[in-house]
């Protein structure tokens, strides 16, 4: 009898399975997973948990799914997205465990909650990663050690700024973050007697929408043209904000001092 119930869940259990699968898909999208990965993972979970006639359509910012003869249907809006590959990896591992029959629904729900609560790196780690990454990019693009130091100062500062202003709109964060990077690089390079160009470029690299652009291409390759277009527009808007923020500070510096930054 227990096996029959497991293979053919009743209405209440089907709703519970559906909610779990939708939550897993939302967790993937919110933390940087590709559209096709979210769809594939949700399909695997539905098949493994014997949710019959499961159909799902995933966009960059939303999930549409139904099960049975459309007797169960759900829509999830995913307005905010970030990058936390640790959570993505945890949900993917959970889907493999479900497919292998290693966990039941209750255990899977507990593991999903644990995956959703995996914390982001602390503020010191974020500042350090911004500084090291900016310095590395500055030297990779041909900058000197002094320019790498300036880039590191700007990278650490902007990561602190982004942490403090995390509740502001994302595009505003990028625009003002690029302006702050340029300002810090001008000040530090002036003190060190270094060129500003490589320092600014190196620090800006930590804000560039590389993940969004790469994922848009992958979505296009997979045939998800709508999701690819959404991600591509997002990447273009972020790039435009970075250019505007940098250009405004450079122009203001030239007007105020009469010196063109080089």
pLDDT given for residue 262 in this prediction: 58
Chain segment 27-75, per-residue pLDDT in tens: 999 998 888 889 999 999 999 988 888 899 998 888 999 987 667 888 8
Give every CB contact of residue 222 below 8 A, 6+ residues apart in sequence.
34, 35, 36
The answer to whether residue 6 scores a pLDDT higher than 60 is no
pLDDT given for residue 166 in this prediction: 83
User: Strand order of the sheet with strand 55-59?
Assistant: 55-59, 62-67, 72-77
User: Do the Cβ atoms of 78 and 227 come closer than 8 Å?
Assistant: no
Q: d(Cα 180, Cα 204) in Å, to the nearest integer?
A: 10
Q: d(Cα 163, Cα 19) in Å, to the nearest integer?
A: 32
Give every CB contact of residue 45 below 8 A, 6+ residues apart in sequence.
20, 21, 24, 95, 98, 99
Q: Higher-confidence residue: 161 or 8?
A: 161
* 3-class SS of residue 74: strand
Nearest alpha carbon to residue 67 among 89, 46, 82, 96: 46
The two tokens of residue 117 are 């609560």
Q: Higher-confidence residue: 8 or 260?
A: 260
pLDDT given for residue 132 in this prediction: 95
User: Average pLDDT for residues 218-231, to the nearest whole number?
Assistant: 85
Backbone φ and ψ of 55, nearest 5°: -130, 135
Beta-sheet strands, E only, within the chain:
55-59, 62-67, 72-77
The two tokens of residue 1 are 């009898």
pLDDT given for residue 69 in this prediction: 67
The answer to whether residue 157 scores a pLDDT higher than 90 is yes
User: Average pLDDT for residues 162-187, to the nearest whole number?
Assistant: 91
H or E element in which residue 56 lies: strand 55-59
pLDDT given for residue 2 in this prediction: 39
* 3-class SS of residue 253: helix
pLDDT given for residue 51 in this prediction: 86
The answer to whether residue 161 scores a pLDDT higher than 50 is yes
pLDDT given for residue 8 in this prediction: 55
User: Which is it for strands 62-67 and 55-59: parallel, antiparallel or unpaired?
Assistant: antiparallel
Beta-sheet strands, E only, within 118-196:
none
Chain segment 77-115, per-residue pLDDT in tens: 888 888 888 999 999 999 999 998 898 889 999 999 999
User: Average pLDDT for residues 128-143, to the nearest whole number?
Assistant: 92
The answer to whether residue 222 scores a pLDDT higher than 90 is no
């Amino acid at each position: 009898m227990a096996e029959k119930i497991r293979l053919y869940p009743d209405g209440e259990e089907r709703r519970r399975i559906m909610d779990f699968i939708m939550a897993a898909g939302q967790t993937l999208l919110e933390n940087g997973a590709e559209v096709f990965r979210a769809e594939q993972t949700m399909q695997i979970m539905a098949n493994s948990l014997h949710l019959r006639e499961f159909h799902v359509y995933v966009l960059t910012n939303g999930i549409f799914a139904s099960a049975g003869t459309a007797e169960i249907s759900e829509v999830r809006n995913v307005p905010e997205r970030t990058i936390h590959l640790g959570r993505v990896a945890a949900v993917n591992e959970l889907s493999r465990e479900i497919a292998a029959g290693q966990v039941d629904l209750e255990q899977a729900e507990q593991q999903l909650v644990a995956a959703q609560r995996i914390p982001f790196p602390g503020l010191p780690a974020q500042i350090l990663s911004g500084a090291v990454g900016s310095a590395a990019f500055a030297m990779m693009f041909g900058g000197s050690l002094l320019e790498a130091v300036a880039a590191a100062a700007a990278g650490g500062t902007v990561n602190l700024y982004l942490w403090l202003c995390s509740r502001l709109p994302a595009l505003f964060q990028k625009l003002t973050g690029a302006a702050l990077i340029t300002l810090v690089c001008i000040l530090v390079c002036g003190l060190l007697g270094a060129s500003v160009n490589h320092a600014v470029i190196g620090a800006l690299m930590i804000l560039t929408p590389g993940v969004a652009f790469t994922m848009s291409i992958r979505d296009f390759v997979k045939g998800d043209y709508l999701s690819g277009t959404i991600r591509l527009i997002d990447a273009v808007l972020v790039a435009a904000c970075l250019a505007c923020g940098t250009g405004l500070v450079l122009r203001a510096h030239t007007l105020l001092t009469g010196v063109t930054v080089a």
